[in-house]
Structure 1
């Protein structure tokens, strides 16, 4: 009998090896009550995120205007929670069409931080910075944007700019529709990660926050932030999943990359 191969396109779920007590603990984390309910995207916005299932159908009809850049940047791409670099490959290709070079974050699928995450990312950033002998633009989607902000604080001399897309760096860490799933999968509270960080503190480099009022996962205010938490906030019209592939966020990112 031949073994069945996995269906393409399905996510690689984390390999849990949970005993009964650990499973019960994670279920408790996912179902814990909120002391003060946070403002989060409405149900209709969350449902709108399922339109991303038709992304491969829409992509051939999408027009992304890309102009060549005379001064290419090195862009380190950090995927969102549950996503792998493959999910951001389409955006990476459009960035490279403009003449820039994109680099993989090197940690596979993003299942949340652990004790070593920032150290591993710092080593990756140092490697890319040394290899190309120039500062790097950090492009982080959702949770990946939190890593980008913390990396820039640790290595400001290696970072030219931070661009976040739908990243919840401001306000309540529960101002989103995914915090319960996050707590179950990671095994820690969303407000007590294994990384010590003040996520609202602005990195000491230019920091741009792309956000959308149509985001069905992250509260728009949480992703836009306030003056002092970022340098600029740019409003777009896309879903949370659309940050990685829709024309408007891709063109917004291209506009942020230096070409002069």
Structure 2
């Protein structure tokens, strides 16, 4: 999905793909834990643009946006229907949405992208970094092989484009110049987790969770981490403190593979 082959990374196994059905239970856990999730840090009211994954629409991010709204953010879906890849008008539409949100509030906008939506988020941050406050991706394949996913055939079918896309990836692969967090799961059944690992730096990090790919946008551990990341004041970025909950909730992303 818009990645160029750099190393032989295999897509997730069929067993992990079958285990994606647990996404239903993960969403149920988020609803059950909703009162506890309200203990996450509150935001300062800045705008957050949430981009959906492949073949998904704003409906898929409704629960996540509702949660972020409850934490004090001005949340927005992308408003472009189903995500069928970077077809004509899609990139222009996202950029116009970003510019409109920035113009309306006079403040930088945080972008949250799920799967392919995270690839878009990094592309937007690369294109207009002066408008972006932070980027958080959820199981997004921004590095590694174009075919290290179980969705590349779907991507090519609905977008009409090759999964190999070096033109866009030269903007997506480098770490954005804004605070950047990649949330990923080693038990992701759609995207090979190594394709979602960011190079840690002065304002970039990885947060690992134990989740399905389809459940990342409705998983309680993801929701809490996301609220924590977005609540940071501009210019005061610090790495996520996973020690509060321990390795069962947030495993060490740097442990031996």
Q: Normalising by structure 2, what TM-score?
A: 0.80
Q: How does 1:47-86 map to 2 (within 5 A)?
A: 47-53=18-24, 60-63=31-34, 64-67=36-39, 69=42, 71-86=44-59
1:180 — aligned with what? 153
Contiguous gaps of at least 5 residues in structure 1: 1-33
Offset at 1:71? 2.1
Offset at 1:66? 1.6
What secondary structure is seen at the aligned counterpart in 2 of 1:49? helix
Pair 1:46-2:17 in alignment: yes
CA distance, structure 1, for counterparts of residue 146 and residue 20 of structure 2: 20
Match of residue 210, structure 2, among 206, 220, 237: 237
CA distance, structure 1, for counterparts of residue 51 and residue 31 of structure 2: 25
CA deviation vs aligned residue, 1:107-149 (integer Å, no higher than 9, x gap): 1111111243222211110000000110000000000001100
Pair 1:130-2:103 in alignment: yes
Offset at 1:57? 5.7
CA distance, structure 1, for counterparts of residue 186 and residue 9 of structure 2: 16
CA distance, structure 1, for counterparts of residue 101 and residue 184 of structure 2: 27
CA distance, structure 1, for counterparts of residue 217 and residue 141 of structure 2: 16
CA distance, structure 1, for counterparts of residue 175 and residue 190 of structure 2: 23
The answer as to whether partners of 1:77 and 1:104 remain within 8 angstroms in 2 is yes
1:113 — aligned with what? 86
The answer as to whether partners of 1:139 and 1:162 remain within 8 angstroms in 2 is yes
CA distance, structure 1, for counterparts of residue 43 and residue 217 of structure 2: 24
CA distance, structure 1, for counterparts of residue 124 and residue 145 of structure 2: 21
Pair 1:146-2:119 in alignment: yes
CA distance, structure 2, for counterparts of residue 180 and residue 39 of structure 1: 15
Moved more, 37-46 or 95-104: 37-46
Structure 1 stretches of 4+ with a deviation exceeding 3 A read: 53-60, 225-228
Relative to 1, partners in 2 of residues 1:57 and 1:100: Cα closer, same or farther, differing over 3 Å?
closer
2:67 — aligned with what? 94
The answer as to whether partners of 2:8 and 2:145 remain within 8 angstroms in 1 is no
Match of residue 196, structure 1, among 159, 163, 168: 168
The answer as to whether partners of 1:143 and 1:167 remain within 8 angstroms in 2 is yes
Contiguous gaps of at least 5 residues in structure 2: 234-257
2:255 — aligned with what? none
The answer as to whether partners of 1:160 and 1:205 remain within 8 angstroms in 2 is yes
Offset at 1:227? 4.2
1:20 — aligned with what? none
Q: Normalising by structure 1, what TM-score?
A: 0.79
Q: How many residues align?
A: 224
What secondary structure is seen at the aligned counterpart in 2 of 1:50? helix
Relative to 1, partners in 2 of residues 1:255 and 1:69: Cα closer, same or farther, differing over 3 Å?
same
The answer as to whether partners of 1:170 and 1:226 remain within 8 angstroms in 2 is no
The answer as to whether partners of 1:73 and 1:257 remain within 8 angstroms in 2 is no
